[in-house]
């Protein structure tokens, strides 16, 4: 069985090659993103392994099916980028990795909070230039602060446990309350109430038609002035241009992003020698109280190993006629 991994980086090659050792799978790695233009590269591959920024709309899926692909193996938990109705119509099975290391993403969210609060990015640059003053580096104690967790699945729960360890008071928003958070003393509230009460808000919900632009101009206006917003979930959970206005007026005091709605054409590539064409992202990068990382929250050795192991297990079980982690429309 031959499988082609689109959007593969060196760390994917390492983790997947190690996980596939001794199996009958023949893996091939393609650094290009999956698009309508690159889909012909998958001709003759029964399995296409795709990542979060690969395009899997009806046209791309039709091109893959015409080339002999029968399985789309996602290396991610999210599947909002897949036209599931088209996949079903074309007879393509779609499997995903429902969980890998929730600690990886949760810990990165906490890292963004600490870096923003204690101005670590500014302090690092300042001391490298020989400036050892402390002006403008004042932070606040996390202990006793109110933290809002939006989305309380495995990642949100892991994040909540860490923040509880700091002595934070927990608020939560999710249609399905998690008993683990209730045991931590979290209070589940409607989103507007959570936004009004929390000093720090962290997004950990999936992207659906109901959560797209969950954070927008109206919801940002409900925040406490100077509140902190962290998004390690999906870029489109946030109406990004609205963030700029909230930062300019001080309504939003801190912003940490690991995902960006228009990241597909930017992230995972070295574009340091090219002018940045995205005006919204360029404007965000000018704020001293903003930290943006390029979708690296998942990037731990444990998470990579789990992603590779689960993806290959999904493929092997599908080959054996006992599929697992199927995604249906």
Count, residues in the chain: 329
Please report where in the chains the tokens 């996980």 appear, as a residue: 19
The structure tokens 């899926």 sit at 61
DSSP assignment of 241-288, as one string? HHHHHHHHHTSEEEEEES--TTGGGTTTS--TTS----HHHHHHTT-T
Tell me the two tokens of residue 268: 């995972």
State the Cα–Cα distance between residues 103 and 112, nearest whole angstrom.
14
CA–CA gap between residue 140 and residue 162 (Å, rounded): 17
Longest dimension (CA), the chain: 65
Catalytic residue ranges: 234, 263, 295
């Amino acid at each position: 069985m031959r499988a082609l991994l689109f959007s593969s980086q060196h760390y994917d090659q390492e983790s997947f090659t190690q996980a596939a050792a001794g199996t009958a799978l023949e893996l091939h790695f393609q650094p290009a993103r999956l698009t309508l233009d690159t889909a012909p590269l998958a001709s003759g591959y029964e399995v296409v392994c795709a990542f979060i920024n690969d395009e899997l709309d009806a046209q791309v899926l039709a091109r893959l099916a015409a080339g002999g692909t029968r399985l789309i193996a996602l290396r991610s938990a999210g599947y909002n980028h897949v036209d599931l109705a088209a996949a079903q119509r074309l007879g393509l099975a779609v499997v995903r990795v429902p969980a890998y290391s929730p600690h990886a993403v949760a810990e990165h969210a906490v890292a963004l909070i600490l870096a923003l609060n204690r101005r670590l990015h500014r302090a690092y640059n300042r001391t490298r230039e020989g400036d050892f003053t402390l002006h403008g580096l004042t932070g606040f104690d996390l202990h006793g602060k109110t933290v809002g967790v939006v989305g309380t699945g495995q990642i949100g729960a892991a994040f909540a446990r860490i923040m509880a360890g700091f002595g934070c008071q927990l608020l939560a928003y999710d249609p399905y309350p998690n008993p683990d958070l209730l045991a931590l003393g979290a209070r589940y509230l409607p989103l507007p109430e959570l936004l009004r009460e929390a000093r720090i808000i962290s997004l950990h919900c999936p992207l659906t038609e109901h959560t797209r632009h969950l954070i927008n101009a109206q919801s940002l206006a409900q925040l406490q002035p100077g509140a902190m917003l962290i998004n390690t979930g999906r870029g489109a959970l946030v109406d990004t241009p609205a963030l700029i206005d909230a930062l300019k007026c001080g309504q939003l005091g801190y912003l940490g992003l690991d995902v960006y709605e228009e990241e597909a054409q930017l992230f995972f590539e070295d574009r340091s020698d090219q002018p940045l064409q995205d005006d919204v992202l360029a404007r965000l990068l000018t704020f001293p109280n903003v930290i943006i990382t390029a979708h690296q929250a998942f990037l731990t050795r444990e998470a990579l190993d789990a992603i590779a192991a689960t993806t290959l297990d999904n493929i092997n079980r599908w080959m054996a006629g006992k599929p697992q982690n199927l995604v249906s429309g």
